[in-house]
Structure 1
Amino acid sequence: MVISGPLTPAQVSFLLGIIPVCVAWLYSEFLEYKKTAASLKTGRDSDINLVELGNDTVKEDDRAVLLEGGGLQSASPRSHGSFIASPVVRLFTMEESFLLENRLTLRAMS
């Protein structure tokens, strides 16, 4: 006979801690695989594009803009579309950039 009782603290910590971390890790591995597969597909064509780009010359106007610093803009923290939040919130919202950055940590935690 199975006697059911209240949840133990170990069961609650498992449900709230280990399962979401494992799901986040698996999703981050999927994102890494998708990113790697996409780069391999474009990698074949990139050599051809580099040769074509190497033949073009830089215009003097473009060079002047770069020398004056007009072409360089500081990267804002919100430029990636990510909001500034605690890592726990970013983990539970499954933010792709956060998961890709911390994929190895999630793997170790799993």
Structure 2
Amino acid sequence: MEVFGPVTPGQVSFLLGVFPVLIAWIYSEILEYRKSSSIKAHSDSNLEKETVGEDDKAVLLEGGMSKSPSTKLRNMSTKTNLIRFITMDESFLLENRAVLRAM
């Protein structure tokens, strides 16, 4: 029988780094799936009811809004982003799903 040595600090730091990212990535993929499936389920019924206003058409023709709401979120501090990651904030995970996938 082989006896293994004590757990090294490198092994602990690897596991503390890999597991939260892996769990956050899986959770973000689940959130994206739920989001896309709910949009597809309601898209047919909403097409008949929604009418596009003249203001919406003008904004689309002019190239969109001058400042997107997501730019405000990008300017947050590292501490705020870390807290949002630890608390598994759904909007944060959906915004950074590609980063989690790449990690």
TM (norm. structure 2) is: 0.68
Matched residue SS, 1:86:
helix
Q: In 2, distance between residues paired with 1:87 and 1:49?
A: 38
1:42 paired residue number: 42
**Equivalence for 1:93:** 87
Larger Rg: 1
Moved over 6 A (4+): none
RMSD of aligned Cα (Å) = 2.5
Equivalent residue number for residue 29 of structure 1: 29
Q: What are structure 1's unaligned runs of at least 5 residues?
A: 58-83
Q: Report the AA paired with residue 93 of structure 1.
A: T
2:34, 2:18 → 1: CA distance?
24
**What TM-score does the superposition give when structure 1 sets the normalisation length?**
0.64
1:23 Cα deviation after fit = 0.5
**Separation in 2 of the partners of 1:2 and 1:43?**
60
Higher helix share: 2
Deviation at 1:12, TM superposition (A): 0.7
Instruction: Provide the rounded CA distance (Å) in 2 between the counterparts of 1:21 and 1:28.
Output: 10
